[in-house]
């Protein structure tokens, strides 16, 4: 009986789950639908259902067509301003291709500025800026 009261009192005193700390970017985990893809400032054609799911274990599940899901990975580097992410893709060779990127999340919008593979990380979200290969904008998919 005492153990029950102790357990209940510990549960009542335990802090609740919190969102990201002040100044930290919101979590990227979840499914995002591509709504705009710019390369060199020009729109790129893509399948209207293109989504990417970021899992909490570093996997990216990319659905680029109705019958295709590619498993890739990512690594968050959220300490910088803006927050950084490496998008990692199998290359077919012994080493994966790493795309250095920056990202921002505002409400339900994710914007990723992708740099040249194995190059410098972009410093801007402007699609025509130096070092920016492409800018991709996603909307969070509601469950």
Long-range contacts of 50-59 (CB under 8 A, 24+ apart): 51/141, 52/138, 54/28, 54/29, 54/30, 55/29, 56/29
Nearest to 103 by CA among 128, 73, 131, 123: 123
CA atoms of 117 and 102, how far apart (whole Å):
13
SS3 5: helix
b/e string for 99-127 if b means 16 or more Cβ within 10 A?
Answer: bbbbbebeeeebbbbbbeeeeebbeebeb
Q: 5 to each of 12, 15, 122, how far by Cα in Å?
A: 10, 18, 55
For the chain, the domains span 21-140
> CATH: 2.40.50, 2.40.128, 1.10.357, 1.20.120. Which one for 21-140?
2.40.128
One digit per residue, pLDDT tens: the chain, 143 residues? Answer: 444 343 434 334 444 334 445 555 468 999 999 999 999 999 999 999 999 999 999 999 999 999 999 999 999 997 889 999 999 998 677 889 999 999 999 999 999 999 999 899 999 999 999 999 999 999 999 97
CA 140 to chain centre: 11
**Which residue carries 């410098």 as its tokens?**
120
């Amino acid at each position: 009986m005492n153990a029950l009261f102790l357990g209940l009192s510990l549960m009542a005193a335990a802090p609740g789950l919190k969102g990201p700390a002040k100044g930290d970017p919101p979590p990227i985990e979840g499914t995002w639908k591509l709504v705009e893809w710019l390369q060199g400032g020009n729109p790129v054609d893509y399948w209207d259902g293109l989504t990417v799911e970021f899992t909490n274990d570093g996997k990216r599940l990319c659905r680029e067509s109705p019958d295709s899901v590619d498993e890739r990975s990512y690594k968050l580097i959220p300490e910088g301003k803006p927050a950084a992410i490496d998008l990692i893709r199998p290359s077919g060779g012994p080493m994966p291709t790493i795309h250095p990127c920056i990202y921002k999340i505002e409400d339900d919008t994710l914007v990723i500025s992708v740099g040249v593979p194995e190059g410098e990380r972009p410093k801007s979200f402007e699609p025509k800026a130096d070092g920016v290969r492409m800018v991709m904008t996603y909307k969070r998919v509601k469950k």
